[in-house]
Amino acid sequence: MIALVTGANGLLGNHIVQALLEDGHTVKAMVRPTSNLKALEGLDIEYAYGDVRDGAALRAAADGCDTIFHTAAVFSYWGFSQEEMDQTAREGAINVVDAARDAGVDRLVLTSSAGVLGRNTEQTPMTEASSPDLESMPAYFQSKALQEQVAFERAEEQNVDLVCVNPAVILGPNDQKPSASMGTITNYLFDPLKLTWPGGVNIVHAQDCARGHVLLAEKGESGERYLLGADNWRWKRVHETISRLCNVAKPTIRLNAKTALLGASLMEFGAKFTGKPPQATRDQAMQVGNYFWYNHTKAARLGYRSRSTRDAILETLAWLLDSPHLSESQRKSLNPSIELETMRRKLQPTDS
């Protein structure tokens, strides 16, 4: 396989690149000229520079490739308008399908999000066939739904083989930016009140999600979407796991939806003065009490496997402890468990 990976420096993108290389494939990484490339250091890859909104740059990058993994997107809950996110989603989807057509690739793998299925007030894991409820969902999820729609329509028009992948929340090491998902960890670690809330989440390890992408490039059915996830956990269990691994306080206060919305509104107000992103946004607070749980049986039938959510949290924390995302004072405030310290040493690079 000769694969182009857009957004290759991101959390998912860099793990897809590594999974492809481990399987002996050739990789071309498309990144912006200003991208942080630390996650790709030392890898035997070719770089293509450009923005997915630039059709000519994308077509040039796809030349000579037989597979495209399109992971590039605006993933944020703050700092981008709905219009900006929609523009990137729409233009990126059209351009990548057209690039796939012009390059004559065998398959285009589109990274969407499990969030396109919307909210669920019931504790029943959603499937690919679930009816979406996107009302009052964050702009990011709505932009991903738009991206899917545009990509599928364009692929049908241009006769391009397209498979859509819908990951749950992705965590893992080597999250250099970091992604918005890292807030799942850091927001609780450094929350002085140690808040938790009702509802649930599905968290998947970035390596497993990347492996799932490669699997679906080879075995997925054209025109289909596939959920990739791991365990379905309540938020309290997520927070208690972080607490035990880092020896910080357990959750002490359980927010309800109204209190969460009030708190997020105040955080957004404060962010206008500090210039820093709020710890939580109103879009996120409006999801409190919902269950973002998923059933990935469809992908599992093709061979997809995932490690536990606990392992994803453990390895993310182990990498985070030595990352540039923590200040020295934050690092000193933590008391890693023996298990976490062991994983931390395991993830540290060794001299060759």
CA-atom Rg of the chain in angstroms: 20
Residue type, 275: G
Please list, in sequence order, all residues whose beta carbon lies within 8 angstroms of the beta carbon of residue 352, skipping any fewer than 6 positions away: none
In whole angstroms, give the CA distance from residue 61 to residue 334: 44
Q: Of 28, 38, 144, 298, which one is the catalytic site residue?
A: 144
3-state secondary structure at position 257:
helix
Which DSSP category does 196 fall into?
Answer: E
Largest Cα–Cα distance of the chain, in whole Å? Answer: 56
Residue type, 321: L
Active site residue 250: no
Check if the beta carbon of residue 334 is closer than 8 Å to that of residue 189. yes
Bond before 178 cis per omega within 30 degrees: yes
Cα→Cα distances 150→54, 110, 322, Å: 17, 11, 40
Check if the beta carbon of residue 217 is closer than 8 Å to that of residue 67. yes
Active site residues: 144
